[in-house]
Chain A
Amino acid sequence: MTEASSPEPADPSSAVPFVTPLPPAGLSKVLGLLEILDDHGGREDIYKLARELRDSFGELIIIIKAAEILDLVETPGGDLVMLPLGKQVIELPVNEKKKIISRQVAKLSLIRHMTDFLRAREGQQATRQEVLDELARTLPTERPKPQFEALVNWGRYSELMTFSRDEDVLRIAQKAV
């Protein structure tokens, strides 16, 4: 499940590229998951964690999925296991944590495809509807709205994209140009 490291070129214009959807999980929760896993010595049964968190099993799975595609954890046989990068992240101060997570986010195929898509456009920007259309085209089996929200959230967090609700426009962040 090392989606973050698969290097495939994204072609925003024509052919439908191979991209993987974003798990619609907030990154604060991913960081919290690493903390709790560390409290459990870096390895724990996923079902046990779900019970301890009194969290709906479904949501925890999405958060775990997010941590997994960011190469922070792995999930052999129903366990959640910390990877070295995950361990490194929890030992860093707030800012440094964010840098590493951002670097991982930037490698994801959907993030790469959407930054290419925006960069290829005039003003490096697109309206919400244009982004939703592109998401529907590249991820025909996913609901575009949650993907859009995750894209905005992870794009902002990694400082690759900004979204203006006033204008309803997603654009490449100035810092990322």
Chain B
Amino acid sequence: MLLKLENVSKIYDTDGRPSTILADLNCAIDSNQFVCIVGPSGCGKSTTLRLINGLMVPSVGQVVFKDKPLTGINMQCAMVFQNFALLPWLTVMQNVTLGLEARGLNANDATKKAAVYIDKVGLDGFESAYPRELSGGMKQRVGLARALAVEPELLLMDEPFSSLDPLTSINLREELLDIWADANLAVSTVIMVTHIIEEAVELADRVILIAGRPGRIVADIEVTMPRPRHKNSEAFTRHVDAIFSLMAECC
């Protein structure tokens, strides 16, 4: 088992009063899976990702990564963000090498490694461009290259496509599946947050639905359709409808 959440709860302090955001999450995620977390706004999806990568500590319970309870940041994880989180004064290359140098690589090795992942995500030719010269799609490719470059086993993505226009988003989703399926890359497992159910059904092997206040795992659905998945197929619609009705029941 790659990752386990064991009785995980998270309590935030809001205006001096404790409020439980996530309650009693239990789940186990295997390697080589593409998992989507879906749920209504504010149910604690981003908080769940932060607990998984160790940026935040559970108030109750524990996160177990490869049989070891997580203490501190999980270095085998990397995160891709909705708003790209690029540094505007750095070039594409510099944005990607930054994280590598932070992990102790010398500048030369960092550049070499960054070049490999810049190529993987189709950004060759843009190395010296600055973020503001790039389209949203190209910016998110930088975010992806930066995450992949640290060669994480687990890739976490927090609504990575939701600030992109529909066509760019379709293209990047397709390319993400290619990258995930590429056996030459370290990434074996992806956990992606989305609030778009169609997106989850298109990508995931498994969809975890979080809902309620506090947020709990209210459904855990396997999606076994072969890929590529066509949105207009009957099976696709059936999956989407099933998740929608679960969500309607729980929220």
Contact = CB atoms under 8 A, between A and B. Distances in A.
Label chain A's interface by main secondary structure. Answer: helix
A97 B122 contact: yes
8 contacts: A28-B135, A31-B171, A32-B167, A35-B171, A39-B230, A90-B174, A94-B121, A159-B124
Contact of B138 (A28, A90, A158): A28
A156 B125 contact: yes
Contact of B232 (A40, A54, A93, A94): A40
Given A29-B137, A93-B178, A98 B122 contact: yes
Contact of A156 (B129, B169, B172): B129
A165 B130 contact: yes
Given A26-B135, A28-B137, A39-B230, A156 B167 contact: no
User: Quick one: which of B137, B165, B167, B232 has the most chain A CB within 10 A?
Assistant: B167
Given A55-B166, A55-B167, 6 more contacts: A29-B135, A29-B168, A55-B165, A94-B175, A97-B122, A163-B129
Interface string B173-196: 011001100100000000000000
Interface of B: 119-122, 124-126, 128-130, 133, 135, 137-138, 165-172, 174-175, 178-179, 182, 230-232
Interface in A75-112: 90, 93-95, 97-98
A162 B125 contact: yes
Given A28-B138, A97-B122, A36 B170 contact: yes
Given A39-B230, A165-B133, A26 B122 contact: no
Contacts of B168: 26, 28-29, 32
Contacts of A16: none
B125 A159 contact: yes
Given A26-B137, A165-B133, A32 B125 contact: no
Interface residues of A, number: 32
A29 B125 contact: no
Given A39-B230, A94-B122, A95-B119, A63 B129 contact: no
A106 to B, nearest CB: 12
A159 B174 CA distance: 22
B118 to A, nearest CB: 11
B232 A156 contact: no
Contacts of A90: 174
B175 A156 contact: no
Interface string A102-128: 000000000000000000000000000
A54 B169 CA distance: 14
Contacts of A93: 178, 182
Given A26-B135, A94-B178, A39 B232 contact: yes
A30 B48 CA distance: 34
User: Quick one: which of B125, B126, B175, B230 has the most chain A CB within 10 A?
Assistant: B125
Contacts of A95: 119-120, 122
B127 to A, nearest CB: 8
Contacts of A158: 125
A53 B231 CA distance: 14
B178 A164 contact: no
Contacts of A163: 128-129, 133
Given A94-B179, A95-B119, A54 B167 contact: no
A32 B128 CA distance: 25
B84 to A, nearest CB: 14
A61 interface: no
A35 B174 contact: yes
B133 A152 contact: yes
Contacts of B171: 28-29, 31-32, 35
